[in-house]
Structure 1
Amino acid sequence: MVGILLLTHAPLGQAFITAVEHVFRGPTECFEAIDVAADQDINQVNELAKQAIARLNDGSGVLVITDIKGGTPSNCCNSLAAEGCVEVIAGISLPMLLRAITYRRDTLDVVVEMALAGAQSGAVRVDNRIRVGPG
């Protein structure tokens, strides 16, 4: 099963874990978050991430999801992706994460594609204006 690591600005990662536990009515296996503090040493974050990836990787690989490309958590991912068994996506959303979790018994490439599809289909305009007249 593909492991999932959230590497985000604090406290976003833990908030997503809480949301996933709510949706799936309990903890999800092979799923962790590292919340990066504003003044946290980037070397420490890299080490924590490498340790988490080692715990989460059962041979199927690990998807690392970060919040915003170019931020400190995302910048830490640059060296992680070079590991070979790690894929990184920036721009976390709950639809993205739920889709990744749902498909993670598939290959890492499929999980990445499904997560991206979840993000794209999950961002929609909610229009609740009352329409008057035909149409």
Structure 2
Amino acid sequence: MIGILIVTHGKFGHELLKSAELIIGQQKNVLTLGLEHGDSIEELHHQIKTSIEKLDEGDGVLVLTDLFGGSPSNAAAANMEHLNFHSLTGVNLPMLIEVLSMRECVDIGELVDSAFKAGYEGIKNIGAILNNNI
């Protein structure tokens, strides 16, 4: 099973996982890390490394972060020099549900592509949709 690590500012990742589990059920082999005000970036870097190593059961690990260029994303990227894993930024609920639903059925490359597509397609302008249907 592909391991999933969600790294965000604050408790966003933890709450996102709780929301996904409300919809699709409790998940295994998923961890969340949150960077709080005053936390050490070096410690987050170490926690990401340790978490990836723990989650890797042989099928790979996908790290989802909230904001490209933010400390969680940068700390994850810094680990790519020494660890083999995939990472996407801009995590949202459609992306996470897709990842959690598919991670036992596809390889990590397909999972990354599906996650990216689901995250993008999950963004809708409701007003424009409603105006086009009237």
Does TM, scored on the shorter chain, surpass 0.5? yes
Counting only pairs closer than 5 Å after superposition, residues 48-59 of structure 1 correspond to structure 2 as 48-59=47-58
Give the structure with the larger helix fraction.
2
Indicate if the aligned counterparts of 2:24 and 2:97 stay in contact, CA closer than 8 A.
no
Tell me the residue number matched to 1:123.
123
Looking at structure 1, the residues matched to 53 and 9 of structure 2 have their Cα atoms a distance apart, in angstroms, of: 21
Looking at structure 2, the residues matched to 28 and 76 of structure 1 have their Cα atoms a distance apart, in angstroms, of: 24
AA paired with 1:72?
A: S
Instruction: Give deviations 1:16-68, integer Å, cap 9, x for gaps.
Output: 1110110113x201111001112111111011111111111001111000000
Instruction: Give deviations 1:48-90, integer Å, cap 9, x for gaps.
Output: 1111111110011110000001111011011222345311101
Tell me the residue number matched to 1:86.
85
Question: Any idea what SS the aligned residue of 2:125 has?
Answer: coil
Q: Percent identity?
A: 25
Looking at structure 2, the residues matched to 84 and 33 of structure 1 have their Cα atoms a distance apart, in angstroms, of: 18
Runs of 4+, deviation exceeding 4 Å: none
Gapped runs of 5+ residues in structure 2?
A: none
Tell me the residue number matched to 1:107.
107
Tell me which structure has the larger Cα radius of gyration.
1
Size of the aligned set, in residue pairs, is 130
With the length of structure 2 as denominator, give the TM-score of the two structures.
0.90
Gapped runs of 5+ residues in structure 1?
A: none
